[in-house]
């Protein structure tokens, strides 16, 4: 029994060999961790579906980068039209909560007098909640 115990203690850790697939190149990063370099390009051949990744931010149109002199007159009319549309649109409860939480200002002031950690909270609500 002691011989079996000693032989088990002297064994190296069991490592499962990484599968070798032609066309997929494994790139080690740290230790046995890593990634397959060509899985995005050739993954569908091997049953791995990758979703296409688009830009993180929307692409800005060229109309945003026009001269300032052309924008000044047209921007005033568009803002009043947008304001008129916003007044006529009935708001859902989610929109009301969004506007409410968007315009709440919370200020934390720590008062250190006799009691060291009293926290005074001032809440200023400066928003207009549209009625249905």
Q: Cα separation of 97 and 104, whole Å?
A: 11
Number of domains the chain contains = 2
Classify residue 56 by its DSSP letter.
S
Q: What does the pLDDT average to over 104-125? A: 47
Domain that residue 25 falls in:
18-51
Tell me the pairing of strands 104-111 and 26-30.
Answer: unpaired
Residue 76 belongs to a domain: no
Q: Does 1 map to a domain?
A: no
* pTM for this model (two decimals): 0.23
Is 121 contained in some domain?
yes
Within a domain: residue 111?
Answer: yes
Q: What is the mean pLDDT of residues 78-83?
A: 53
In a domain, 102, yes or no: yes
Residue 37 lies in a domain: yes
pLDDT tens digits for 81-113? 555 555 555 556 666 555 555 555 444 444 444
Tell me if 59 is assigned to some domain.
Answer: no
What Rg do the C-alpha atoms of the chain give, in angstroms?
A: 32
């Amino acid at each position: 029994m002691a011989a079996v115990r000693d032989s088990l203690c002297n064994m190296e850790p069991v490592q499962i060999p990484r599968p070798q697939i032609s066309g997929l190149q494994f790139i080690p990063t740290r230790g046995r961790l890593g990634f397959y370099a060509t899985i995005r390009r050739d993954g569908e051949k091997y049953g791995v579906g990758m979703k296409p990744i688009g830009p993180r931010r929307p692409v800005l149109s060229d109309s945003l980068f026009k001269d300032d002199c052309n924008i000044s007159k047209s921007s005033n009319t568009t803002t009043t039209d947008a304001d008129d549309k916003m007044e006529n649109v009935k708001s859902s409860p989610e929109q009301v909560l969004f506007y409410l939480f968007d315009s709440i200002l919370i200020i934390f002031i720590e008062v250190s007098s006799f009691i060291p950690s009293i926290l005074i909270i001032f809440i200023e609500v400066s928003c207009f909640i549209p009625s249905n």
